Amino acid sequence: MAAVAVDGVWKYFGDFPAIREVSLTADSGECLALLGRNGAGKTTLLRILAGLSAASRGGIRLFGQDARSVQARLRTGYLGHGIGVYEELSARENLELFAKLYQLQNPGKLAGEWLERTGLDRAAGSLVREFSRGMRQRLAVARAFLHEPGILLLDEPFTALDDRAIQLLEGLLQAARERGAAVVMSTHQLREALELATRVSLLVRGRVAYSGPRTAEMLADPGWLYRHYGEAT
């Protein structure tokens, strides 16, 4: 059973199809890179996987469960465009909150561990409002990985990260894959993504134009995919 199974999914906004008959899978331990231009449907697809949006047609199964079910959401970590942490709470309070929402044992201890891991332990009691951009990003990453999710959904994660945060993220992704998590990552930054990816799917205007394993060719020449499949409808 695949960790992430997307089967014949359509998503309409009004009568406009943003996603057209998309099918793809990601198994445990795999890292699927979702490529495509702006408006191709990457964010929409990720949001559906995260349970934020409902597919108009077709099925989404995360570990065999419906994406919106509680069991699926318990095992999914989502890192979207916004950092998803509260400005008026401290770093520790934020992590404890999410630990409780994800029904983890010992939220306090867990929060402490992650604060250390992300290098935020000295600022644990400070409000996020006072954080620098890099610190916020690291906290966001901590929030997404806190509950050791089996599925990670990342929407253009490298876009806003500074070097320290990128290192942190790459390390966490590596560790996640080693314990068998599936990662679905949408991106513009071809280089970083292709290095981490094991599979690649290219979305063009809501359709899957190409889906397959990441090849050495792609790694050597990131633009290859777009040139070969970019204009297909």
Partner 1 sequence: MNFVRLSLVVAAKDLRSELRTKEALNASLSFALVILLLFSFAFDPSSEQIAEFSGGLLWITFAFAGALILNRSFSRELANDCLDVLVASPVSGAALFFGKALANYALLVAVEIVCLPVFGVFYGVRWTRQFWWLMLVILLASWVMTVMGTMFSALTVNLRLRELMLPTLIYPMLIPALMAAMQLTTLILAGSPVAGDDLIWLRLLTGLAIIFTSLALGLVEIVLVR
Partner 2 sequence: MRERVLYALGVAAALLLARNLYVILLVLPDEAEQGAIYRIIYFHLPAWFTCFAAFLAAGAASAGYLARNDSRYDALAVAATEVGLAFCTIGMVTGSIWARNQWGIWWTWDPRLTWALITTLVYGGYLMLRRAIEDPNERAKNTAVLSIFAFTSVVITYKAIDWWRTQHPGPVLSFRTGGGKIDPAMESMIYVNWAPFLMLAVVFVVVRMRQELARRELDALRRFAHAM
Q: Which residues bind partner 2 (CB under 8 A)?
A: 12-16, 39, 205
143 makes contact, choosing from partner 1, partner 2, none, with CB < 5 to 8 Å by partner type, with partner 1
Q: Which of 14, 45, 12, 31 is nearest to 181 (CA)?
A: 31
d(CA 94, CA 81): 18
Q: Of these, 102, 114, 145, 158, which contacts partner 1 (CB under 8 A)?
A: 102
Measured from the CB of residue 2, what is the shortest distance to partner 1 in angstroms? 20
102 makes contact, choosing from partner 1, partner 2, none, with CB < 5 to 8 Å by partner type, with partner 1
Specify the stretch interacting with partner 1 by CB under 8 A; choose among 34-42, 100-108, 171-179, 200-208.
Answer: 100-108
What are the phi and psi torsion angles at 145 (to 5°)? -100, -5
Looking at the Cβ atoms of 36 and 107, the one nearer to partner 1 is 107
Looking at the Cβ atoms of 141 and 203, the one nearer to partner 2 is 203
Distance from chain centroid for Cα 140: 12
d(CA 227, CA 224): 5
> What CA–CA distances, in Å, run from 182 to 5, 22, 170?
11, 18, 14
**Cβ-Cβ contacts under 8 Å for 199 (sequence gap 6 or more):** 26, 30, 31, 32, 33, 211, 212, 213, 214
205 makes contact, choosing from partner 1, partner 2, none, with CB < 5 to 8 Å by partner type, with partner 2
183 makes contact, choosing from partner 2, partner 1, none, with CB < 5 to 8 Å by partner type, with none
Measured torsion, CA atoms of residues 167, 171, 177, 178, in degrees rounded to the nearest 10: 160
57 makes contact, choosing from partner 2, partner 1, none, with CB < 5 to 8 Å by partner type, with none
Q: Does 114 bind partner 1 (CB under 8 A)?
A: no
Q: Give yes or no for a contact between 34 and 201, defined as CB atoms under 8 angstroms apart.
A: yes
Measured from the CB of residue 202, what is the shortest distance to partner 1 in angstroms? 25
Q: Does 175 bind partner 1 (CB under 8 A)?
A: no
Measured from the CB of residue 180, what is the shortest distance to partner 1 in angstroms? 20
Strand order in the sheet with 199-204: 76-79, 151-155, 182-186, 31-36, 199-204, 207-213
d(CA 225, CA 203): 11
Measured from the CB of residue 192, what is the shortest distance to partner 2 in angstroms? 28
Measured from the CB of residue 39, what is the shortest distance to partner 2 in angstroms? 7
Q: Which of 59, 33, 30 is nearest to 202 (CA)?
A: 33
Q: Does 82 bind partner 1 (CB under 8 A)?
A: yes
Tell me which residues touch partner 1 (CB under 8 A). Answer: 47, 50-54, 68, 70, 73-74, 76, 78, 80-89, 93, 97-98, 100-103, 127, 143
